[in-house]
């Protein structure tokens, strides 16, 4: 099932000890593009849906103790069409990605299909993005 024209669907990858600002900053920016967010034109040319995706639907502890509930699992998300993916980062995050098999497998499948790949403070493991 494809998304309607002018609609972008972004998957925000969530994993334990991600840096909160690296996840929530881009999420806030994309959410600010929603119709009527700024009290202006309620019908922009592009709309964006942001969905938080993780290994399970259990609360995920971010760096500093903030807990976030994902919207769907990686398994569920593989059945969707995504125009974009956003991968948060943070201090020492690369080893956590490289040992997070569900997240890495999801990204290996998703990244080649996406038009937009956003990262914050993250270098992907070889084989996903160079």
Instruction: Give the domain CATH number at 61.
Output: 3.40.50.880
Q: If pLDDT is split at 50, 70 and 90, which confidence band does 130 have? A: very low
Q: Does 8 have pLDDT greater than 70?
A: yes
User: What residues make up the domain containing 113?
Assistant: 7-37+46-119
Residue 8 and residue 22: Cα distance in Å, rounded? 20
What the block records as the tokens of 26 is 């881009």
Q: Give domain status of residue 124, yes or no.
A: no
What the block records as the tokens of 119 is 């990262």
Q: Give domain status of residue 2, yes or no.
A: no
Q: What is the pLDDT of residue 75?
A: 93
Q: Give domain status of residue 14, yes or no.
A: yes
Residue 74 and residue 105: Cα distance in Å, rounded? 9
Q: Give domain status of residue 98, yes or no.
A: yes
Q: Give domain status of residue 127, yes or no.
A: no
Q: What's the structural domain count of the chain?
A: 1
Q: Give domain status of residue 71, yes or no.
A: yes
Q: Does 20 have pLDDT greater than 80?
A: yes
The pTM is what? 0.83
Average pLDDT of span 10-34: 88
Q: What is the pLDDT of residue 88?
A: 87
Tell me which of 82 and 123 has the higher pLDDT. 82
Q: Give domain status of residue 100, yes or no.
A: yes
Tell me which of 35 and 60 has the higher pLDDT. 60
**Separation in Å, CA 70 to CA 21, 45, 123:** 16, 28, 23
């Amino acid at each position: 099932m494809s998304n309607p024209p002018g609609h972008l669907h972004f998957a925000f990858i969530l994993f334990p000890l991600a840096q909160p600002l690296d996840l929530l900053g881009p999420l806030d920016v994309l959410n600010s593009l929603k119709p009527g967010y700024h009290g202006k034109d309620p019908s922009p040319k592009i709309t964006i849906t942001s969905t938080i995706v993780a290994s399970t639907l259990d609360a995920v502890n971010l760096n500093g103790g903030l807990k976030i509930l994902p919207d769907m699992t990686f398994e569920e998300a593989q059945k969707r069409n995504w125009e974009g993916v956003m991968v948060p980062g943070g201090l020492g995050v690369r080893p956590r990605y490289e040992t997070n098999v569900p997240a890495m497998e999801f990204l290996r499948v998703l990244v080649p299909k996406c038009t937009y790949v956003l990262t914050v403070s993250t270098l992907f493991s070889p084989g996903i993005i160079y």
